[in-house]
Amino acid sequence: MTRVTRFAPSPTGLLHVGNLRTALHNWMLARKAGGRFLLRIDDTDAERSEDRFVEAIRRDLDWLDLTPDGEERQSKRLAFYEEAFERLKAAGRVYPAYESAQELDLKRKIALGRGLPPIYDRAALALTDEQRAAKEAQGVAPHWRFRLDHDEPIAWDDGIRGPQKFDAAQLSDPVVRRADGSWLYMLPSAFDDISMGVTDVLRGEDHVSNTAVQIQMFTALGAQPPRFAHEALLVGREGKLSKRLGSLGVESFREQGYQPEAIVALLARLGTALPVEPIADRTALLDTFDLATFGRAPARFDEADLARVNAQIVHQLPFEAVAGFVPEDFTPAAWHAIRPNLEKASEVIDWWQVVTGPVEPRAFDEETRAYLAEAAQALVWSDTPWQDLTAALKVGTGRKGRELFQPLRQALTGRDHGPDMAELLPLIGEERARERLEAAARG
């Protein structure tokens, strides 16, 4: 059987790092098995869903090269949910309930006060036809609950958490449809997994109890449940990420100049026993992808780790990766010289400015200005101008080490640190180099 996974975001906002990790792992789970990765837009909440977020989701997945093999929108499938609902209704697996939110909240508080689990007491099942008719005559529209079978065991072998078992009697019958007729997550999701042929559901551990409920929904709809796996949620260095997720999204990462390969390399192994490494090759990442390596402890996301991996990825990038946004006179030799000093590829423009100028002169002391004047005189252009210049100055001045090299770098680049001068000086060129040395000598 072809392995089919899905990523099912709600278009109520931009994708954040937790969403990205889920999408990536589902993509990897499918691709490693030669299967299919699907995108399902969970937009049944018409009030909060927006088309601009649908477009952003597609754009973000494309940027990360996680383009799905197919797409469905739940808002286009309402008739299917209606048909499934009627089947469950006829079978007695969904029932109307009339309690208000305030009444349900009071029931939960009473149960907790008595030391009981705060689950729904199924009072609506005890209503007679006359009582239900009276409620509706009063204008009370029902919401609908899925009736769990308390005699049906709920168990599955989770791909990450191992054997799982739930007692249905300890779970509330979930609301599947609101009083206004709109759908909640549970039933449409289960139905879509069946109709879309999803074989594997990989999602966060906060969905474990949802899975227990949905397993009975699959059975009630006459289908075999897919395989389930629940991965640990992301936390930050200081705890939960929830308050910061808005600033940890694809759009933010893209604006900050991170490489998509770095994001993928980090998130692919975050929460696993495998080391996070700057692996830009997707095939290499797929070869080592295995749910057996996923841990149960919360996965820690640290932007410093992303920055580190990003820099290492940038240091591997070929010239072609930046050719589209660098000046026309920027050469492969320039990229080779500058690349080791970059944390983000976009910084190459700043370093090219160091090459092409102008460079702000430093305020050197008199002794250093005299040294730089001698350097301007000693500069003889060749295939190895930096090596020749420093060799001549070492002999002529007796300087060595930092005392020999640092003033030259500062005069020629305006920086204290940077690319290897043996590679950078040929890019600066003889005329600019001499002008900068002479300007620094004049002070």
358 phi, psi to nearest 5 deg: -75, 160
Cβ neighbours around 174 below 10 Å, total: 21
Question: What is the identity of the amino acid at 413?
Answer: T
Distance CA 311, CA 280 (A): 12
Distance CA 226, CA 56 (A): 29
Contact residues for 235 (Cβ-Cβ < 8 A; gap 6+):
241, 298, 299, 300, 301
Is 243 annotated as belonging to a binding site? yes
Provide the 8-state DSSP code for 297.
Answer: S
Cβ neighbours around 223 below 10 Å, total: 14
Beta sheet of 4-7, edge-to-edge order: 4-7, 36-41, 70-73
**Closest to 373 measured CA to CA, from 334, 408, 418:** 408
145 phi, psi to nearest 5 deg: -115, 150
H helix intervals, 96-237: 101-113, 129-137, 186-195, 208-220
Q: Are 443 and 367 in contact (CB under 8 A)?
A: no
Question: What is the identity of the amino acid at 6?
Answer: R
Q: Are 339 and 314 in contact (CB under 8 A)?
A: yes
Distance CA 268, CA 340 (A): 25
Cβ neighbours around 16 below 10 Å, total: 21
DSSP output for 298-323:
PEEP-HHHHHHHHHHHHTT--GGGTT
Task: Characterise 212 by phi-psi region: left (phi > 0), alpha (psi -120 to 50), beta (else).
Answer: alpha
Distance CA 7, CA 41 (A): 8
Name the token pair of 59.
């754009």
Name the token pair of 97.
């309930």
Distance CA 80, CA 61 (A): 27
CA separation, residue 47 to residues 51, 52, 81, 334, 379 (Å): 12, 14, 19, 52, 71
Binding residues for ATP: 243
Binding residues: 243
